[in-house]
Amino acid sequence: MADAAGIRAKKAPPRLPVLRGRHDFPEISGRISAVVLDGKLPRLFWVAFFVCFAFVLLFLYSITYLISVGIGAIGIDIPVVWGTMISNFVWWIGIGHAGTLISAVLLLLRQPWRASINRFAEAMTLFAVAMAGLYPILHLGRPWFFYWLLPLPNTHMHWPQWRSPLVWDFAAISTYATVSLLFWYMGLLPDLGVLRDRAKSRFAQLFYGILALGWCGSAFHWARYQTVYFLMAALATPLVVSVHSIVALDFTFAITPGYHSTIFPPYFVAGALFSGFAMVLTIAIPLRWAFAVEDLITLRHMDNAAKLMIAAGMIVAYGYTSEAFFAWYSGQPYERAMMAERAVGPYAPLFWTMLLCNCVVLQLLWLRRVRLNMPLLFSIALVINIGMWLERYVIVVTGPSRDYLPSSWGEQSLTWLDFGILFGSIGTFFALVFLFIRILPAITIFEVEELAEEKGGAA
Amino acid sequence: MSAIADRQPDLAALRLAAAGREPWRGLDELADTAEFRRFVEAEFPATAERLPLSLDRRTLLKLMGASLSLAGLTACSEAERIVPYVHQPENIIPGKPLYYATALASDGYGIGAVVESHEGRPTKIEGNPDHPASRGATDAVMQAAVLSLFDPERSRAPLKQGEPASYGDFLKEIAGLAGGSIASGGQGLALLVEATTSPTAKAQINALKARYPRLRVFRHDPLAAGSGEQATAKLFGRALAPIYHFDRADVIVSLDADFLGDGPGRLAYARQFADRRRVRKATDTMSRLYVIESTPTITGAAADHRRAVRPSAVESIAAAIKAALEGDNHEAEPAWASALVEDLRGAGRNALVVPGAHQTEFVHALAFAMNARLDAIGNTLEFIEPPDALGTDGDLASLCQAIAGRLVDTVVVLGSNPLHTAPSDIDVRKAFSDLKLLVHWGLYRDETAFLARWHIPAAHELEGWSDIRAYDGTASIVQPLVEPLFGGKSLHQLLAALGGEFNADMQALVRRTWAAMDEPAWRKALRDGVVPNSTARPVAVGMAADIGAGARRVSADGPLEVRFVADPWLRDGRYANSSWLQELPRPLSKLVWGNVALISPATAQRLGLGNGRVVNLARNGRDLDAPVWITPGQPDNTVTLSLGFGRKIGSVATMAEGYDAFALRTADAAWFADGLVLTVRDGSARVATTQHHQAMEGRAIIRHATLDAFRHDPHFVRDGAPTEPTESLYPDWSYDQEAWGMAIDQSACIGCMACVSACQAENNIATVGPDEAARGHEMHWLRIDRYYAGAIDDPDIFFQPVPCMHCEKAPCEVVCPVNATTHTHDGLNAQVYNRCIGTRYCSQNCPYKVRRFNFFGYQEFDKQSAGPQQAARNPDVTVRSRGVMEKCTYCVQRISEKRIRAQIENREIADGEVVTACQQACPTQAIVFGDLNKKGSGVAREKAAPHNYALLEELNTRPRTTYLGKITNPNDRIAGKSRAEAANG
Amino acid sequence: MSLYGIIAAFADPDALTQAVSAMRDKGYRRMDAFSPFEVRGLADSLGMRKTRLPRAVLSGGAAGAVLVYALILYSVEIDYPLNVGGRPLHSWTPFLVIAFEAGILGAALAGFFGMLWANGLPQYYHPVFNAATFTYARGGKFYLLVEAADPKYRKGVTKRQLTRLGAETVEEVEA
C-alpha cells in the first residue's frame, strides 16, 4: 500500500485531493448506501427520470414503426445505404469505452482517483454498449434474422461469412458486453454485501443478499478476488482497444473512398475515449452536485478527466489531419475528390461544425480555470458529444455519397425516424443510468474506504 | 334488312350478351335484343312471329328456360386457334414457355415480336429476327405491352352513358343505326380513326364507304406529321414514304431527324446505323453522322458533329447547305457547313440527308432535293407507297367543322382519345356534346369515353386478331396470345358490326383479307410473323425541278420558341398508366414520373432559372405551368415540352407529376412555334431524376477517341488511364466449366433504354412510384449512365450501360456477413435472396453501385391485392421481399434453362445459346454475352479487341463485364472536336 | 448448538495483521480474517496457498481461441467450401480477429467463475454472521476468527490471547 500511497502523493497535488475531508468507514458506506436504501432522492431526480422515460417511449414507438414499415423509413438510399444507424452505433460504442478505460486501465496503473468514479463509469459502459448493440440489428433490412450472424445450424445449412467485418463486430460487441458485465458485477460484489447488511426491509435484504452471493469479506476471498479483478482488467484493456479497432475496420475494410484508410483503428480508439470522457463528465458533474458527493467525486477527478479529454482530442485532431493528408498523398483521384467534397460539398456544414466542436472548442481545456469551472466543463463535454456524433455521421455518409462513378453520386435526407431513434436511445440510456443510481451504489464503497484508510482517515 | 337477312343463329353475340350474367337478371335483357329475336326466329321459327313484346307467364317461363341454357353457353366457348412459333400448342409442358410470333403496333406501324407465354400467360416480349422492323430487337414501349395487357384499370365492360351495359344492347343500337344509314347512305355518320396500316381495317373501311356512300372518315393522330407526305406529293406527284438505308451511307446529315429514337423504322435504322460504324481493327471504316437538331435526342448524342439550332432555323440552314451543295463555291455559312458539304460531295451516292418528320414541308423538299442531287435516291434513300395511306376526309379539325355544320351527328371514335390529345384551339368537347350519338372504342375509359354515349372496351393487341404493316410495308399477322381478358372487341369486329355483321369472328375477319393465302401459307405466315414478299417495292421517282420555297422565315433571337416532342415512352399519353414506362428514365434527362420544360443553360442563366423552378409558359392566350430543366445541348431560347403527361385518369397516370403539353399545342403549330411567353413563378416543383451528377470528373469512365486516333493507337483506352494491377494478393480461382462474361460496345450503344425495360420485364423488377424514385430508391438492375463532356452549350453526350460487373474479386461478397452473395462455379456473382438479411454492406462496398435494395415491400405477395398484373411476372425469377438486396444476375434463369437443355442433350452449351434480356432487346447489338472459356466465342472475340477495357480496373475487382471504348468519326476540318482525341473521360 | 469458533474485532487493519501473525506464531492454523476491503498481505500471513486462478484464466483464453478457430476452419474447409469474392478458403487473417475475441471471452469467463468456485461462492450461510459483534458493513471493524476445530484451540486461553493482542471485543460464534 505504501507504493500506491507514494504514487498518489506524486499524482495528486495537495490542492486537489482525491478525497476531501476525513471519513470513517461507517460514514462512507452509510452515505453511499443511503442513496440506495433510504431512496431519499431529490425531486429533480424523478423529474429527470420521467423526462427520460418519455424518450424511452419515443424509442419504443420508433423501433416498432421501423420494424413494421421497413428500413426505408430512415433517410437511406442508393448510394448512401448506411446512415444514422451506423453512426449511432459507433458513437455509443465509443462512449462505452471510457468506462472500461477508467475501471480497467486506471486500475492497472493503480490510479487511486478512479475509485469513486469507476462504478458509474462501468455502468455507463454497460448501458452504452446495450444501446450500441441495438443499432446493428435495427439497421438490418430483415432485423428478425440477425441471429444468422451466429454459427448456428439454420435452414440454409450455411455458416456466417467469417471474412466480413460485421461478423467480427458481432463477436467483438458480444464479448465486450459480456466482459463488461462480469467486470462490473464483480466490482459490485463487496458493495452488495454492504447493502445486504445495511438493508432494513426484508425485500432489500433478500434482493441484495442473493446478489451478494454470500460475500463476507474473508481475507482468502479478498485475495483471490483481487487477483482475478486485476486479471480481468488486464483482459479488458486489449479488448477495449480491439473492439473499437474492429468497428473501425467496418470502414477500413471497404474500398469506398473515405472508408478505405488504415489510420482508422487507432484514430477511432482515440475518438472513443474522447467521446467517452465527454460522457463521463456529462454524467458525473450533475451527479456529484445533485447528491452532494463533491467530497468523494472531487475536482481532481473532473480535472483529470478533462486532461484525458485533451489528450484523446488532440489525437483525434491529428487523425483528421492525417486522413486529409493521406487522401492527398495517395494521389488517388477518388480519395482526393471525396475529401474535397467533404469540405465544400453538401455535407460541408456538418464537417466544419464537427471540426469546431472537436478541435476548436477543445482547446479551452488547456486552461485550468476552465477545467475547474463545472458549468463550463459540462457544456464543453456536451459540445464534444455532439461533435463526435457528427464525426461518425460525416464519415459514414460522405464516402458513399461521392464514390467512384459520378453517375451514382447522391445524398441522403434524414427523416423524423432517424432522430426519433437517436434521441430515443439517448433517453433510454439516461433512464437506465437513473435506475442504476437508484438501486445500486454509484460509488464503490470498499475502494473509497480503502482510499480513506490509506489516507489514514480511519477513526 | 341485312342485319336480319343473315339467318344463322348468332350464338357468339348471344354468348357475349349472356356473358357473366346470372340468368335471372339476364332474362329480360336477353329477351328483347335484336339477336335474341333473330335467335328465336332461327331456333324456333314457329314461335318467332308469336313472340310478343309484353311477355305472358308461359312465354316468360319459356324464355327463362332459353336464357338459362344460353347462360350455360358462356361456359363452352371454344378457344381461338393460334399457332405457336416453334411448338404446337397441344404439347404445352408446364414450366416450359411457348413462343408466338405477332407484331405490336407503334404509331400504327408494326414491329415484329415474339411473345413468351407461360401456360397461356404472355410474360415477355422479344423481337422477331425475321421481321424487318425488329430484326430481333425491341424497344422500351414494346416491353411494357405485357404490363398494359394485365392492367386492372383497362375498361372491363361496355358502358352506356357510363353505366355497364351489354354488348348486345350496343349491337342492337348499331343495328338500328346501320339500318338507318343504309337508307340515308351513311348521312351524318363519321368515323374517327387513328393512323393504321392494317390491310383488314382499310378493306373494312372501304367496304363501309361503299356501303354508306355518305360516310365520312376522319383521321386523328396527334403524333403524325403530314409534311413528308405533302412534300413528296408536291415533288413526285404522289404521296410517298421514304425508306433509308443507313448501312449504305458513308455520310449522314440529319435535319432535326431523330431516326434512332423515333419513327416506325427506328429499330431497323439503329441496327443499320450501328452495323456501319462497328470498328474492331485499324482497317475498319465507319460512317459519319452530322445532326442539326432543335432539341437533344439520342440521334444527336450518337452524332459525330451535332449542332443545336432553334427549330425554325433548321429550314434556313438546310437551304444554305443545299445552296452550297449546288453552287460552285463550297463556302457555305456557317463555316462548319462548308466542311459538311465537302463530305457530302465526297460521299456522293453514299451520302444521305434525312429530314425530321415534324419539320416543315420545305425542309423535306430540300432534303430530298439534296439526296437527288447526290444521286443517293435509289441507294441510301428509296420511296415506297405509304403503308398507312388511307383516303380520309380530313383530320380532327375538319371533323369538328363538319359537326358544327350539322353534316355529322354520329361519330364512332376508334382508338384515339381526342378529348385529351386534340390541339388546344379545337374544342372537341363542345363539338362532341352536340352529337346525336358518340361511340368510343378504346382500351381505357378515358376522357373521350366519359363523354361518349357508348364506350366499347378494345381488345389489347395481345388479345385480338389483326394484321399490320411495318415501316417498309412488310405485313404481319397479329395473333392473340390470350382470349380477351375483359371481353374486349377488336377494331375489326367493331367495323364489321357497323357493316351489319354482328357476330363477326375476329380471326375470320382477318383471314378474309388474306384469302389469297392457302392454309399452309397462312400457318407459315403466322409462324414466321411476316407475310412473305409483302414488302413494298420501291417506286422510281422523278424529281421536280421546282421544290417550292420556305413558308416560314427564321424568327430572330428574342421571343422564345416552343418545341413539342412526344414523351419517348408515354407517346401521346396512351401508355401513361404503365408504371414500367413512367419509371423508366428518359434517355437524356434521366427523369422519371413527370415531364419538364427543357431550356438551355444560357437561357436559364439569362432568365435566372434553376432546375425545378416553376415557370408559366403562355402562347396565344393559353398557358401552363411547368418546372424547367436545364439541358446541355438544348438550343438557346427554345423550350421543349413533352406530350403524354398531365393525365387526369388512371391511378398510375395520375400519380405522376407533370403538365399536359396539349394545352399549349395548336393545330397550325403542332410541333414547334414561336411567340412563347415565359414568366417565372415563385417556388419550384419536385423533379425526380435517377442521375444527379452529369460530368465524369476527369475519370477514365467512358474512354473514347476519334477513328484517326484509334487507327494510330488502337490501345487508346490505356492512354492516361490508371494502369491495371497485374496481380492479386490472392491465388486465382479456376473456372473449369463456363466463365460467363459480357462485353458492351459503347460505340454502338445509342442509349435507347430498351435493355433497361427488357431487364425489368425479364427479372420482375419492382416499380417504386414517384416518391420513392425521388428518394433514390429506384430498383432497375441495369442503368444507362449519361455523361456530358466539353462545352456545356454544345456537349459531347455519352451513354454507358452499367449492369453488375460480376467481379471475380467481388468486393461485395467479402463483406457480406451471411454468405448471401457468393460466387458460382461459372463465375457469376450470385445473390441469394432468402439468405440476405439486409446489412447493405455489399452495396456500400460496390464501386459501381449496381446493387438495389428493397427499402420497403415493393412487391405485392398477397394474391388478392396483387391483382391481374402479377400474371405478367416471369415465373422463372424470384419475386424479392422487403429488406433484401438484389442486382443483375446475368439472367441466371436463362443460363440454367440452357444448361439443363444442354445436359439433357449431353452437349456443351453452344456459343450464343444463352442470350441475356438486355442483349436480346438491344437494337444495335451493343451487348455481347457468352462463355469466356470457349475459344472464339463472340464475347471472347469482343474482349480481344484492342479498345476493350474494364470499368475502374485499377481497383483490381476483375470485372467479367467489360467495355469497348467509344470511337467517333468527326471531320477534322471542323474545329472543336480535336479535344476528343483520345481524351479519356 | 455447537461452537464454531471465537471472533475478535480490531480497530484497524494494522492491528489485525499483527494479531494474525502473532496467532500464527502461537501455532494457530484454522483462522480467518474479515475486512470491509482487502488488507494486503493478510491472506499470506494467514498461510494461504498461492492461487492457481491465473493459470485458469490463461487456459480459458487459449481454449476459447483455439475452439473458435477450429470451428471456422471446419466450416470453410470441410463443411461448406465456397468461393467468396475470390478469396482463399483459409483466409487466416480475418479468422484471427474472431479467434482473438473468443480468447478474451474464454479468459474472462474462466476468471470470473474460477474465482467464484475457489471462494466457494455463492454461499448463503456462514457461521460468522451469527456473531453479534460481526458486521461486514456497518461497524467498519476488522475481525479475526479462530475456529474451534483448530487443534490449539482452548476456550479461555485463546480468548485471553486475543484480548491481549488488542481485540476490542471477543465473542464466541455458534456454528
What tens digit of pLDDT does each residue of A312-370 get? 999 999 999 999 999 899 888 899 999 999 999 899 999 999 999 999 999 999 998 88
Q: Closest Cα of chain A to C150: distance in Å?
A: 17
pLDDT above 90: residue C2: no
pLDDT at C125: 86
pLDDT at C124: 85
Q: Closest Cα of chain C to A449: distance in Å?
A: 7
Interface of C with A in 150-169 (CB under 8 A): none
In the predicted model, what is the mean pLDDT of residues B634-652?
92
Contact A142 B847 (CB under 8 A): no
In B, minimum Cα distance to C76 occurs at B819
For residue A221, list chain C residues with Cβ-Cβ distance below 8 A.
Answer: 119, 121
Whether the Cβ atoms of residue B837 and residue A140 lie closer than 8 Å to each other:
yes
Q: State the pTM of this model.
A: 0.88
pLDDT at B58: 60
Q: Which of A409-423, B280-294, B322-336, B436-450 has the lowest mean pLDDT?
A: B322-336
Q: Which residue of A74, A170, A256, A408 is the best one to mutate when testing the B interface, meaning the one whose CB has the most B CBs within 10 A?
A: A408
Contact A216 C129 (CB under 8 A): yes
Contact B813 C85 (CB under 8 A): yes
pLDDT above 50: residue A13: no
pLDDT at B65: 55
Q: pLDDT category, A1, cuts 50, 70, 90?
A: very low
Q: Answer whether A77 touches B (CB < 8 Å).
A: yes
Question: Which residues, including other chains, have CB under 8 Å from residue B827's CB and lie 6 or more apart?
Answer: B735, B738, B739, B740, B741, B806, B808, B960
Burial class (CB in 10 A: 0-12, 13-18, 19+), B35: buried
Task: Name subunits touching B (3+ CB pairs < 8 A).
Answer: A, C
Q: Which of B40-44, B400-404, B701-705, B788-792 has the lowest mean pLDDT?
A: B40-44
pLDDT at B10: 44
pLDDT above 70: residue B353: yes
What average pLDDT does the structure give for chain A? 86
pLDDT at B948: 94
Q: Which of A109-118, A235-244, B405-414, C45-54 has the lowest mean pLDDT?
A: A109-118
In the predicted model, what is the mean pLDDT of residues B234-240?
90
Using CA atoms, how far apart are residues B691 and B671, in angstroms rounded to an integer?
28
Q: Which of A97-111, B160-174, B797-811 has the lowest mean pLDDT?
A: A97-111
For residue B851, list chain A residues with Cβ-Cβ distance below 8 A.
Answer: 78
Question: Which tens digit of pLDDT belongs to each residue from B101-135?
Answer: 999 999 899 999 999 998 888 999 999 999 999 99
Cross-strand partners of B384: B241
Using CA atoms, how far apart are residues B522 and B477, in angstroms rounded to an integer?
9
Question: Which tens digit of pLDDT belongs to each residue from B673-704?
Answer: 988 999 999 999 999 999 988 888 888 899 99
Question: Which tens digit of pLDDT belongs to each residue from A45-88?
Answer: 889 899 999 999 999 999 999 999 999 999 999 899 999 999 99
Interface of A with B in 390-419 (CB under 8 A): 400, 403-410, 412-413
Q: Closest Cα of chain C to B742: distance in Å?
A: 19
Interface of A with B in 32-51 (CB under 8 A): none
State what percent of residues in chain B have pLDDT above 90: 67
ipTM over 0.85: yes
pLDDT at B90: 60
Task: Name subunits touching C (3+ CB pairs < 8 A).
Answer: A, B
Q: Closest Cα of chain B to C93: distance in Å?
A: 12
Question: Which residues, including other chains, have CB under 8 Å from residue C52's CB and lie 6 or more apart?
Answer: none
In the predicted model, what is the mean pLDDT of residues B910-935?
94
- The residue among B6 and A119 whose pLDDT is bigger is A119
For residue B831, list chain A residues with Cβ-Cβ distance below 8 A.
Answer: none
In the predicted model, what is the mean pLDDT of residues B960-981?
78
Q: pLDDT category, A429, cuts 50, 70, 90?
A: very high
Q: Report in angstroms the alpha-carbon separations of A101 from A107, A237, B275, C108.
A: 9, 7, 70, 16
State the CB neighbour count (10 A cutoff) for residue C152.
Answer: 14
Q: pLDDT category, B41, cuts 50, 70, 90?
A: very low
**How many contacts does A have with B, using Cβ atoms within 8 A?**
167
State what percent of residues in chain A have pLDDT above 90: 48
Contact A156 B785 (CB under 8 A): no
Q: pLDDT category, B72, cuts 50, 70, 90?
A: very low
Question: Which residues, including other chains, have CB under 8 Å from residue A206's CB and lie 6 or more apart?
Answer: none
Using CA atoms, how far apart are residues B574 and B224, in angstroms rounded to an integer?
14
Contact B813 C84 (CB under 8 A): yes
Sign of the Cα pseudo-torsion (B189, B194, B195, B197, in order): negative
pLDDT at C4: 86
Q: pLDDT category, A228, cuts 50, 70, 90?
A: very high
Interface of C with A in 26-45 (CB under 8 A): 32-40, 42-44
In C, minimum Cα distance to A452 occurs at C37
In the predicted model, what is the mean pLDDT of residues C99-107?
95
Q: Answer whether B835 touches C (CB < 8 Å).
A: no
Question: Which tens digit of pLDDT belongs to each residue from B474-532?
Answer: 999 999 999 898 889 999 999 999 988 888 888 999 999 999 999 999 999 999 999 99
pLDDT above 60: residue B817: yes
Q: Answer whether C78 touches A (CB < 8 Å).
A: no
Q: pLDDT category, B20, cuts 50, 70, 90?
A: very low
Task: Name subunits touching A (3+ CB pairs < 8 A).
Answer: B, C
In B, minimum Cα distance to A146 occurs at B837
Q: Which residue of C67, C98, C141, C146 is the best one to mutate when testing the A interface, meaning the one whose CB has the most A CBs within 10 A?
A: C98
Report strand pairing: B796-802 vs C142-147.
unpaired
Interface of C with A in 116-135 (CB under 8 A): 116, 118-119, 121-126, 128-129, 135
Considering only the beta carbons, identify the residue of A71, A77, A158 that sits closest to B819. Answer: A158
Interface of C with A in 96-115 (CB under 8 A): 97-98, 100-102, 104-105, 107-109, 111-112, 114-115
Using CA atoms, how far apart are residues B507 and B515, in angstroms rounded to an integer?
12
Going edge to edge, which strands form the sheet with C3-10? C31-34, C142-147, C3-10, C169-174
Question: Which tens digit of pLDDT belongs to each residue from B337-346?
Answer: 888 998 999 9
Contact A166 B841 (CB under 8 A): yes
Interface of C with B in 73-112 (CB under 8 A): 82-88
Q: Which of A395-409, B26-40, B782-796, C96-110 has the lowest mean pLDDT?
A: B26-40
Going edge to edge, which strands form the sheet with B163-164? B163-164, B159-160, B454-457, B437-442, B408-414, B188-193, B216-219
For residue C85, list chain B residues with Cβ-Cβ distance below 8 A.
Answer: 807, 809-814, 823
- Phi, psi torsion values for C75, nearest 5 degrees: -70, -40
Q: Answer whether B823 touches C (CB < 8 Å).
A: yes
Tell me which long-range contacts B279-282 makes (C-beta under 8 A, separation of at least 24): B279/B707, B279/B710, B279/B747, B279/B967, B280/B945, B281/B714, B281/B945, B281/B946, B282/B710, B282/B711, B282/B714
pLDDT at A16: 58
pLDDT at B553: 57
Cross-strand partners of B467: B477
Q: pLDDT category, A109, cuts 50, 70, 90?
A: confident
Q: Which three cell numbers stand for residue B688?
A: 425526380
pLDDT above 70: residue B433: yes
Question: Which tens digit of pLDDT belongs to each residue from B564-608?
Answer: 999 999 999 999 999 999 999 999 999 999 999 999 999 999 999
pLDDT above 60: residue B649: yes
Contact A193 C136 (CB under 8 A): yes
Q: pLDDT category, A397, cuts 50, 70, 90?
A: very high
What average pLDDT does the structure give for chain B? 86
Considering only the beta carbons, identify the residue of B730, B731, B819 that sits closest to C82. Answer: B819
In the predicted model, what is the mean pLDDT of residues A213-226?
88
pLDDT at B901: 93
Q: Which residue of A87, A159, A164, A338 is the best one to mutate when testing the B interface, meaning the one whose CB has the most B CBs within 10 A?
A: A164
Q: Which three cell numbers stand for residue B851?
A: 446493387
Q: Closest Cα of chain C to A164: distance in Å?
A: 8
Question: Which tens digit of pLDDT belongs to each residue from C123-163?
Answer: 888 888 888 778 776 666 888 888 888 888 888 888 888 88
Q: Which residue of A159, A404, A409, A412 is the best one to mutate when testing the B interface, meaning the one whose CB has the most B CBs within 10 A?
A: A404
**How many contacts does A have with C, using Cβ atoms within 8 A?**
194
Q: pLDDT category, B555, cuts 50, 70, 90?
A: low
What is the Cβ-side half-sphere exposure of residue C147, based on CA atoms within 13 angstroms? 11
Q: Which three cell numbers stand for residue A304?
A: 483529470
Q: Answer whether B812 touches C (CB < 8 Å).
A: yes
C165: closest CA among C140, C139, C146? C146
Burial class (CB in 10 A: 0-12, 13-18, 19+), A12: middle
Q: pLDDT category, B43, cuts 50, 70, 90?
A: very low
pLDDT above 50: residue B816: yes
Q: Which of A101-105, A136-140, A151-155, B414-418 has the lowest mean pLDDT?
A: A151-155
